[in-house]
Structure 1
Amino acid sequence: MAALRFLSDADSCLNLKKSIPLLNELFHIHCKIGEGTFSSVFLATMKSSNRHKKFALKYLIPTCHPERIERELQCLQQMGGKDHIVSIDLCLRHQGSVVFVMPYMKHDKFSEYVRDMTVEETKDYMRALLSAVRRVHQFNIIHRDVKPSNFLYNRANRKYLLVDFGLAQQCTEYNAKNLEAIKTNAGTTEIQSMKRKRSDEFNSNAKKDADIKCNCFGKPKVCALCLTRPQQTAPRAGTPGFRAPEVLLKHPSQTPAIDIWACGVMMLCILSGTQVFFRSPDDCTALAEITTIFGSRKVQQCAEKLGKKIIFSENLPGIDIMSLCLKLRKRNRSMMHNRENSTCKVLPDIEYPKEAYQLLIKLLNLDYETRITAEQALSHPFLNL
């Protein structure tokens, strides 16, 4: 198996060199260190530096849309290098192949530290994460894929890096809270004009829908009228388990608040000592998992505010999130302690202050309009104790 993997990595490196010949002149390409839907990442050293300086080469698959590549490149150029956001040193293109050359940072796996982070370490981690997300939002950008594997952490040196802007999108919808909290590149007049246009379109569509009434709303069936209507589309990019409720409910107007929800899920993993927390294979299962925590009534209220309706076969009361985290940590400690011949580290008995859970609840607010912003979160008592 190891030999097969080595051959696979060697073939991948060879293909990369063939795709962009200039890479072979500049770098020693060692191995593949990461792979996603739209790209592969390779470890390399510059030939002129005698292998001292390491780089991460992100090779975008040739079928990537040019706009996606341009958007990611702009994000790295504008935001990179500050507040724990990865920078870019070079971009190489040959025919349909593109490679981003970025600094390499050695990092630990989330599963290796999520269960035994101290209170102070958790504060540092969340401060760095929220600082990076705040900077992204200041540029009117939604990262859309905030998750542990995209927030690199070198535990020994306490270094952090937010990476992978392949799914990033320009934010096109604002509410009053975000207008105050986020620095935008658009002027006030342009935003107001955009809002009026959307409002006119919404009111026009609403009148049309009101004239023709369906008989299946709120019922476990779909009528012939609804079957003839066009399919509703909304951005769904992101990783299962980290998608916010408004994404799962296909709300068309999504804001930077979806990144805040993902930060909340990461904090939930840390406080509960559980990884991965949400194991949802699809959006319906994801909503069901969220419902077991927050209760059916709160999820229904969230859906109603987004113009949706969810029907549950039974009413779920919801769970106190602090009690849930404590119970999961206790269970994980017990499981690891009882394993025979286990090489796993025993989960320490860490007591987080109540302020930690208060921040967690604000990050995991079901209502995206009242969900805390990155700026507000950084001023929360837990991160300033």
Structure 2
Amino acid sequence: MESVPTGQRSSHQTVEKGRSRPISRGVETDIAYLYEVLPQLSRIFRIIDKIGEGTFSTVYLAEAQMTDGSRRMFALKHLIPTSHPVRIAAELQCLTVAGGTENVIGVTYCFRKEHHVVIVMPYMEHQTFVDIVGSLSFEDVKHYIFHLLKALRHIHKFGIIHRDIKPTNFLFNQQRREYALVDFGLAQGTPDTQIELLKELLGLDKAPRSVFGEKNINGTISHKPGTDKVEGLLSKTKREEVIPRKIVSSKHRSVPVRAPLNQKPKPPAVSPMLICNCFMTDRVCNICLSRKQQVAPRAGTPGFRAPEVLTKCPNQGTAIDMWSAGVILLSLLSGRYPFFKASDDLIALTQIMTIRGSRETKEAAKTFGKSIVCSRELPRLDLRILCETLRGLRSWDDTSLPAEFQTSRNPAEVKQDAGSPAKKRMSSGSLRSIAELQEMGWDKAPDDVYDLLDKLLDLNPATRITASMALQHPLFKDMTN
């Protein structure tokens, strides 16, 4: 790790293409709070702006002066205080063991005071995916997916399942063709993982979340399992002494209503052995209500979850990352982002069946012990026709895509002159003319790229292509692995 001398705080501004803009009052408050809970940051970093915010963490852009006098930008990831200590330590171990090479972000420092943890990583200037997805040439897309696969091959080699592969977690600098896989906060390990702390998360993920020094029921400060591992891992980095403290919640937990002591519990109205008869009705029967709730990993972002995740398959491996990579490639080829947008898992599964076919989805589900019922038959779509139509290389009138995709057309396109072929043949994602698309190489996209897409979106995780196999695909025959 590099040595960084003391820095000085100054007024917070974000520099953007040679000009600066003041940040919002809310972000200033968040930065002031971060300085307050981790005072040692102010001696090294000038925090400039908030650049990312998720369920489990917030990311800030910061500047530090190096020992050689140069100034360098860093990303500071502030983890939520209720993160389990083993989860934090596992994320750090993933970054230190697998990071810093093969398009995987590394770690520079880690600070901790009490239950606040900040991971310091190199900052990579990058473009927002939604802003560039329609403007990338075919060659850009080919390089993008190639380098994503390289990152996945690298982490899978260590037995790391990322579990949240999506464009915002794979940073991309179009001008420099630089890439970085980030955010291992949801990572899990395969049975043979080389990341020791990931092995412990399998049991911890099923337990209630805990925090550093949480008060137990007897009123004493309890030592949480795994805290010693965080201590050992963070002892190699800059941090202050950890002092356990009592966590007081401002929200009162509601007390469940109890039945009178002399009241006997009612027996189940229907035997669980009977056949369920609530399908296609507006009610849920007692049989379904009496079924034991399935417990299975369900990490990831809606729209990028694999079928085995959506159906709560308990055995999930590195194949779920490959499915997510396939969804990204689907967006890149069609120019449509996000491609899948569902409010719940059942709708997400239906959207997948719309693309891959209902019969194929049901058959694949049987292979991992799940049963899917579909009210109507959905045919499997040709991926090339689908992507070329959405991008604008084919006329909508020349295809028979389902209504779900017809409604995805841009409203501006509908108002255009129907007699103009150039205007009519435009993509809902990129809104570019045929001439522009040809100049970007989209008319020469080979069948190989759609073959790779088909293998990435294999509904069966057991036969889905691996990252190592994907990098040997004919599509990348002219690229160095």
Q: Give the TM-score band, short-chain normalised.
A: 0.7 to 0.9
Helix, strand or coil at the partner of 2:465 = coil
**What runs of 5+ residues in structure 1 fail to find an aligned partner?**
173-182, 187-211
Root-mean-square deviation (CA), in Å?
2.7
Q: TM-score scaled to structure 2, two decimals?
A: 0.68
1:126 is aligned to 145
The structure-2 alpha-carbon separation of the partners of 1:296 and 1:160, relative to structure 1 and needing over 3 Å to count, comes to: same
Say if 1:214 and 1:226, in contact at 8 Å, map to a contact too.
no
Verify: 1:239 aligned to 2:295, yes or no. no
Cα offsets for 1:38-95 (capped at 9, x unmatched): 1111111114566720000000011111121111111001011010000000000001
- The aligned runs of 1:100-139 (5 Å cut-off) are 100-139=119-158
Of 65, 89, 97, 1:78 maps to 97
Larger radius of gyration: 2
Helix, strand or coil at the partner of 2:321 = helix
Helix, strand or coil at the partner of 1:98 = strand
The structure-2 alpha-carbon separation of the partners of 1:218 and 1:368, relative to structure 1 and needing over 3 Å to count, comes to: farther
Of 3, 9, 15, 2:27 maps to 9
Corresponding pairs, count? 347
Cα offsets for 1:95-134 (capped at 9, x unmatched): 1100001000000111222123223222211111001011
Range 84-93 or range 299-308, more displaced: 299-308
Say if 1:45 and 1:51, in contact at 8 Å, map to a contact too.
no
Of 423, 432, 457, 1:364 maps to 457
1:169 is aligned to 188
* TM-fit CA distance, 1:217: 8.2
CA distance in 1 between partners of 2:139 and 2:194 (Å): 35
The structure-2 alpha-carbon separation of the partners of 1:134 and 1:17, relative to structure 1 and needing over 3 Å to count, comes to: same
* TM-fit CA distance, 1:338: 5.7
CA distance in 2 between partners of 1:45 and 1:214 (Å): 65
* TM-fit CA distance, 1:5: 6.0
1:258 is aligned to 320
CA distance in 2 between partners of 1:360 and 1:251 (Å): 23
Q: Percentage identity across aligned positions?
A: 45
CA distance in 2 between partners of 1:185 and 1:100 (Å): 21
Verify: 1:38 aligned to 2:56, yes or no. yes
* TM-fit CA distance, 1:225: 4.8
1:196 is aligned to none
The structure-2 alpha-carbon separation of the partners of 1:218 and 1:364, relative to structure 1 and needing over 3 Å to count, comes to: farther
- The aligned runs of 1:310-321 (5 Å cut-off) are 310-321=372-383
- The aligned runs of 1:1-385 (5 Å cut-off) are 6-48=24-66, 52-172=71-191, 184-185=193-194, 213-216=273-276, 219=279, 224-330=286-392, 335=413, 346=432, 348-349=437-438, 350-351=442-443, 352-385=445-478
The structure with the largest helix share of the pair is 1
Say if 2:23 and 2:49, in contact at 8 Å, map to a contact too.
no
Say if 2:169 and 2:183, in contact at 8 Å, map to a contact too.
yes
Say if 1:116 and 1:348, in contact at 8 Å, map to a contact too.
no
The structure-2 alpha-carbon separation of the partners of 1:185 and 1:66, relative to structure 1 and needing over 3 Å to count, comes to: closer
The one-letter code matched in structure 2 to 1:137 is H
Helix, strand or coil at the partner of 1:34 = strand
* TM-fit CA distance, 1:306: 2.3
CA distance in 2 between partners of 1:106 and 1:375 (Å): 28
Cα offsets for 1:194-239 (capped at 9, x unmatched): xxxxxxxxxxxxxxxxxx7342289557654553342111101100
Helix, strand or coil at the partner of 1:9 = helix
CA distance in 1 between partners of 2:290 and 2:135 (Å): 53
Helix, strand or coil at the partner of 1:323 = helix
Say if 1:87 and 1:103, in contact at 8 Å, map to a contact too.
yes
Helix, strand or coil at the partner of 2:476 = helix
The structure-2 alpha-carbon separation of the partners of 1:345 and 1:322, relative to structure 1 and needing over 3 Å to count, comes to: closer
* TM-fit CA distance, 1:313: 1.5
The structure-2 alpha-carbon separation of the partners of 1:217 and 1:379, relative to structure 1 and needing over 3 Å to count, comes to: farther
CA distance in 2 between partners of 1:217 and 1:298 (Å): 25
Say if 1:216 and 1:222, in contact at 8 Å, map to a contact too.
no
CA distance in 2 between partners of 1:217 and 1:367 (Å): 29
Helix, strand or coil at the partner of 1:53 = strand
Cα offsets for 1:7-41 (capped at 9, x unmatched): 01111110110110100011111110111111111
Say if 1:57 and 1:99, in contact at 8 Å, map to a contact too.
yes
The one-letter code matched in structure 2 to 1:325 is C
CA distance in 2 between partners of 1:273 and 1:225 (Å): 44
